[in-house]
Chain A
Amino acid sequence: MSSEAHTSAEYIHHHLQNLTYGQLPAGFERHGADGAVEALQQATWTVAHTSEEAKAMGFWALNLDTFFVSLLLGAIFMLVFRSVAKSVVTGTPSGLQNFCEWAIEFIDSSVRGSFSGKNNMVGPLALTIFFWVFTMNLMDLIPIDYIPLLMTSLGVPFFKVVPSTDPNATFGMAIGVFLLVLYYSVKVKGLGGFVGELTLQPFGKWGMPVNLLLEGVNLIAKPISLALRLFGNMYAGEMIFILIALMGGAWAGFSVSGVTLYGSQILLSLGWAIFHILIVTLQAFIFMTLTVVYLDMAHQEHH
């Protein structure tokens, strides 16, 4: 726990709040740290200090932590792979090139396994998804209090370091994938074919409304399931880290229960972190594979 003044609920809240930058409407009452209430004279662009403020900012606000961490991770991934791609040799590879080649061949073979169409974009898409999601998930393994503590000492009120525990990030990617699915559906089958697929099966043309309902749900379920699966897994994992961290917070001097809780916090967070390595990788892989499968479905003609 970062401070004694926090209750468990505040601690959890603090850890689950994104650093949001947006516009507070005029007349909004800000609660200062000392309890003073200040009503804003006019609409103000600022960083939200409480979750109420973040809510009040509405849609046009940006989660700075999610945005910059995911940008940083994506940039690191791109730079590493780009540096290899620039100096790539066809002879004996070494060091980093080995790793990148291994990664690309791994992705390529799993794409070939589930994607039957011919599309040069699917491989790079899968590679980007896998490593971006993987590195974002990996942030979960940073000890939970380090970054928020550091940021608090720098005067930043919140910092949620795992972008994939922010539904904005997971839905953002899922929407990207969904747009690709729509684009390729229309491109491969034609607009008529795609609409026909949505309305003419499974019950033929007389069951058109029912067909549209079923197929529509089927279509919409793709991005939603993609986004929610990743978000749910990472959010739950994060939550368990928070709960484990709370156990150690019960420390209040040397007592049997205090020492037991403190010790079990160490053991449990170790255990959960090790287990989480699996989840982190698995979720990245699932997101990638499902994307490839959805795109494969978009490329296939139905009868």
Chain B
Amino acid sequence: MNINATLLAQTIMFALFVWFCMKFVWTPIVAALEARKKQIADGLADAERAKHDLELASKRSAEILREAKEKASDIIANSEKRGSEIVEEAKNQAKVEGDRIIAGAKAEIDQEVFRAKEQLRTQVSAIALAGAGKILGREIDAKAHNDLLDKLVAEI
């Protein structure tokens, strides 16, 4: 238990250990700890921001969905309206067309009737002539009685 040179050796050893610890142990580990602290803080901040972004995005998506639904129902309503319009138009057109066809047919019929009448009229005069000839027993000179016949035809 004497005080001897061990004292000096221990002091020197102590100084060397402290130096070593400071240079090669403390500094890197504390730097790593600081870096991790920063990493964690950044990570938390990022998570917070991401959460916020997510909230915004979900709000936005809900809005977009709502708009889309509105638009879709608008489109459906429009198309329904348009569809009924088209049907209505087609109906009208069909009616017009039908009317036109009917009118044409009527005109044709009238024409046919008129022509038949014409024909009948001419034939009637011939029949009248033939009948009168038979009745009179002689030939009626068509030329001589032309004016008479024409008068008759006009009367029918």
**Which A positions have Cβ atoms within 8 angstroms of B?**
16-18, 20, 22, 54-55, 57-63, 66-67, 70-71, 74, 77-78, 81-82, 84-86, 88-91, 100-101, 104-105, 108, 120-121, 123-125, 127-128, 132, 163, 166-169, 171-173, 175-176, 179
Contact assessment for A128 and B18 in the assembled complex, using a CB-CB cutoff below 8 Å: yes
In the bound complex, residues from chain B placing their C-beta under 8 Å from that of A84 are 29
**What is the chain B residue whose CB lies nearest that of A65?**
B6
In the bound complex, residues from chain B placing their C-beta under 8 Å from that of A57 are 2, 4
**Which B positions have Cβ atoms within 8 angstroms of A?**
1-11, 13-15, 17-18, 20-22, 24-30, 32-33, 35-36, 39
Select one of A91, A104, A172 contacting B14, CB under 8 A. Answer: A172
Contact assessment for B7 and A124 in the assembled complex, using a CB-CB cutoff below 8 Å: no
Contacts A90-B32, A104-B30, A176-B11 known; A128 to B5 CB distance under 8 Å? no
Contact assessment for A176 and B15 in the assembled complex, using a CB-CB cutoff below 8 Å: yes
Select one of B14, B17, B28 contacting A85, CB under 8 A. Answer: B28
Q: Which A-B residue pairs are the 3 nearest by beta carbons?
A: A172-B10, A124-B22, A168-B6
**What is the chain B residue whose CB lies nearest that of A64?**
B6
Select one of A58, A62, A78, A123 contacting B20, CB under 8 A. Answer: A78
Q: Which secondary structure dominates where chain A touches chain B?
A: helix
Contact assessment for B33 and A124 in the assembled complex, using a CB-CB cutoff below 8 Å: no
**What is the chain B residue whose CB lies nearest that of A71?**
B13
Contacts A89-B32, A123-B30, A173-B14 known; A168 to B22 CB distance under 8 Å? no
Contact assessment for B17 and A101 in the assembled complex, using a CB-CB cutoff below 8 Å: no
Select one of A16, A63, A74, A86 contacting B6, CB under 8 A. Answer: A63
Contacts beyond the supplied A16-B1, A55-B2: 9 A-B pairs with Cβ under 8 Å: A60-B5, A78-B25, A82-B25, A123-B22, A123-B30, A124-B26, A128-B21, A169-B6, A169-B10
User: How many residue pairs bridge A and B at CB < 8 Å?
Assistant: 132
Contact assessment for A172 and B24 in the assembled complex, using a CB-CB cutoff below 8 Å: no
How distant is the Cα of A278 from the Cα of B152 in the complex, in angstroms? 157
How distant is the Cα of A173 from the Cα of B18 in the complex, in angstroms? 11
How distant is the Cα of A89 from the Cα of B36 in the complex, in angstroms? 9
Contact assessment for A82 and B24 in the assembled complex, using a CB-CB cutoff below 8 Å: yes
Contact assessment for A58 and B4 in the assembled complex, using a CB-CB cutoff below 8 Å: yes
Contact assessment for A172 and B11 in the assembled complex, using a CB-CB cutoff below 8 Å: yes
Contact assessment for A61 and B11 in the assembled complex, using a CB-CB cutoff below 8 Å: no
Contact assessment for B26 and A171 in the assembled complex, using a CB-CB cutoff below 8 Å: no
Q: How far is the CB of B71 from chain A (nearest CB, A)?
A: 49
How distant is the Cα of A121 from the Cα of B21 in the complex, in angstroms? 10
In the bound complex, residues from chain B placing their C-beta under 8 Å from that of A176 are 11, 14-15, 18
Contact assessment for A88 and B3 in the assembled complex, using a CB-CB cutoff below 8 Å: no
Select one of B5, B11, B26, B32 contacting A127, CB under 8 A. Answer: B26
Contacts A121-B18, A166-B1 known; A66 to B6 CB distance under 8 Å? yes
Contact assessment for B28 and A168 in the assembled complex, using a CB-CB cutoff below 8 Å: no
Contact assessment for B9 and A62 in the assembled complex, using a CB-CB cutoff below 8 Å: yes
In the bound complex, residues from chain B placing their C-beta under 8 Å from that of A54 are 2
Contact assessment for A172 and B26 in the assembled complex, using a CB-CB cutoff below 8 Å: no
**What is the chain B residue whose CB lies nearest that of A123?**
B26
In the bound complex, residues from chain A placing their C-beta under 8 Å from that of B7 are 168, 171-172, 175
Select one of A62, A78, A90 contacting B4, CB under 8 A. Answer: A62
Contact assessment for A85 and B25 in the assembled complex, using a CB-CB cutoff below 8 Å: yes
In the bound complex, residues from chain A placing their C-beta under 8 Å from that of B6 are 18, 61-63, 66-67, 166, 168-169, 172
